[in-house]
Amino acid sequence: MTGAGRGNFITVAGVTLLSRALDAPGFAPLPPRARALLETLGAPPRLGAHLRVVHDVAVTLTGWVGPRVDVPAVLFGAATHDIGKVRHPAELSGPGSLHEEAGYRLLLAQGVEEGLARFARTHGSWESADVTLDDLLVTLADKVWKGKRLPDLEQRVAEGLGGPVWETFLALDDELERLASGADERLAFQAAYPTSG
């Protein structure tokens, strides 16, 4: 890298690392509103890269699930679920859930509707009884992007999708197996961007 700078204004040939993470080829572009929020809030590049890969998985998942979910809402949720890490950057590289409520509040403060801001709060609490299928899909994307499989979560999603649960579960399993096979590429992409700057 030849660039140098400070804070979120580190540049390489005049382009911020966040912009590079958001524009890099290979993953679906974020919804414009989500992208604008990340830029306004000065999101760390690693966060931008993480949201790219989780959103990309959510694009595939919602394409598979179809109109049984609110696709634009799920995609916005996937693209912003960890935005609270702007306020709690230590949680970009370590455990912690302070970013969940913080992200929800941050989105509300930015004028985002509750129905879209809620994903920031729900993505870590999928075992709660009152989460919706939309919430569960964001959580699922946030697991399978790195190849993590959670049978109990997948069972809840299969039940939420309706139809014969066992057949749905097996079909979902096939889809998730395909998605999980791309985990190494996603992990390498995310790791290439720093947690600060």
Contacts with Fe ion, residue ranges (CB under 5 A) = 82, 142
Smaller CB distance to Fe ion: residue 100 or 142? 142
Identify the burial level of 132 via C-beta atoms within 10 angstroms of its C-beta, where 0-12 means exposed, 13-18 middle and 19 or more buried: middle
Smaller CB distance to Fe ion: residue 165 or 191? 191
Helix, strand, coil percent content, the chain, rounded in steps of 5: 65, 5, 30
Residue 15's contacts (CB-CB under 8 Å, 6 or more residues apart) are: none
Asked if residues 99 and 115 have their Cβ atoms less than 8 Å apart, the reply is no
Q: Give least dist CB 64 to Fe ion, A.
A: 20
Q: Residues in the chain, how many?
A: 197
Q: Give least dist CB 104 to Fe ion, A.
A: 14
DSSP SS3 for 60: helix
C-alpha 91/C-alpha 99 separation (Å) is 7
Smaller CB distance to Fe ion: residue 131 or 168? 131
Type of residue at 95: P
Q: Give least dist CB 81 to Fe ion, A.
A: 6
Q: Give least dist CB 162 to Fe ion, A.
A: 27
DSSP SS3 for 82: coil
Q: Give least dist CB 18 to Fe ion, A.
A: 16
In 3D space, the residue among 192, 190, 197 whose CA is nearest the CA of residue 54 turns out to be 190
Smaller CB distance to Fe ion: residue 91 or 168? 91
Smaller CB distance to Fe ion: residue 29 or 124? 124
